[in-house]
Amino acid sequence: MKTLAELRSETAVWLDDPKKSRFDDPLLNTLLNMAYPMVVGIVEGSGRLWNLTGPLSIAVTPAAKEYDVGTAGSVRRIVDVRRVVGTGRVQVPFLVLTEVNREGSQNYYPELENAPQTHGVSIYRNSSGQWRLRFGDDAPPAQTLEVHYIPAVNVLALDSDTPSMVPEGYHHIVAMQAAIVGKGTEERTNSTLELRFNEQVRLMMGETTSLIAARSQRI
């Protein structure tokens, strides 16, 4: 496990700046918080369930058609919704309200939070970043739902913070990625660093792939 303070020091060494004369602590923090989501994206490339979290339990009543899923900013992607039936679980189909922007990536329509819906379950994210689960026009029956999700990437702010969404044995990859980004700002490259980075990524991907099947059993 690596803390933000430790990752800063490692990044500075990779940047050939161990005394932090060119890259001070605030700049290193910025580089690490840019690199961290990049590495999370690599991790999730080995299986979308690596950072699976939950279940969140939602008690549904006929009196309400909309429910918060987690807290604002805590949920990045909804993976699965199930209805509790006795000791079992029944999968609930749901629609995520999205658009595709000109760059081809998905954005979430805050405008659709007030859009009409006639049936089924939809999930959207409002302008405050809060994911909401919404039933159709008919009052929903009383039930308990369980939601599994991928959490938002935590910001590295305190010296004791760790990149918890990266496998513990590979936190150092975040420092390596941060150094690659930092060298790019100086229009420098380091083939040794990039080779080491790619080697560590291959090792990490092999390890996470072997664990995905076990994690998927949590749903």
In a domain, 146, yes or no: yes
In a domain, 185, yes or no: no
Share of the chain above pLDDT 70, in %: 83
In a domain, 157, yes or no: no
In a domain, 187, yes or no: no
Q: Answer yes or no: is pLDDT of 43 > 90.
A: no
Based on the fold, state whether residues 71 and 147 are members of the same structural domain.
yes
Based on the fold, state whether residues 120 and 71 are members of the same structural domain.
yes
Domain total of the chain: 2
Based on the fold, state whether residues 98 and 116 are members of the same structural domain.
yes
Q: Which residue has the higher pLDDT, 3 or 188?
A: 3
Based on the fold, state whether residues 85 and 106 are members of the same structural domain.
yes
The answer for residues whose C-beta is within 8 angstroms of residue 105's C-beta and 6 or more apart is none
Q: Answer yes or no: is pLDDT of 201 > 60.
A: yes
Based on the fold, state whether residues 75 and 90 are members of the same structural domain.
yes
Domain of residue 21 covers 4-48+165-180+192-216
Based on the fold, state whether residues 36 and 58 are members of the same structural domain.
no
pLDDT confidence of residue 9: 97
pLDDT confidence of residue 6: 98
Most confident residue range from 125-129, 150-154, 209-213? 150-154
What is the mean predicted confidence (pLDDT) over 184-199?
85
What is the mean predicted confidence (pLDDT) over 36-45?
89
Q: Which residue has the higher pLDDT, 54 or 3?
A: 3
Lowest mean pLDDT among 16-20, 33-37, 102-106, 154-158: 102-106
Q: Which of 38, 65, 50, 60 is nearest to 148 (CA)?
A: 50
Based on the fold, state whether residues 75 and 138 are members of the same structural domain.
yes
Based on the fold, state whether residues 61 and 135 are members of the same structural domain.
yes
Task: Give per-residue pLDDT as tens, 88-138.
Answer: 999 998 888 764 344 444 454 444 455 444 447 889 888 788 899 999 877
Most confident residue range from 75-79, 96-100, 159-163? 159-163
What is the mean predicted confidence (pLDDT) over 192-216?
77
In a domain, 104, yes or no: yes
pLDDT confidence of residue 213: 53
In a domain, 106, yes or no: yes
In a domain, 174, yes or no: yes
Whole-number mean pLDDT of the chain? Answer: 84
The whole model's pTM is what? 0.76
Share of the chain above pLDDT 90, in %: 52
Based on the fold, state whether residues 67 and 126 are members of the same structural domain.
yes
In a domain, 24, yes or no: yes
Based on the fold, state whether residues 27 and 108 are members of the same structural domain.
no
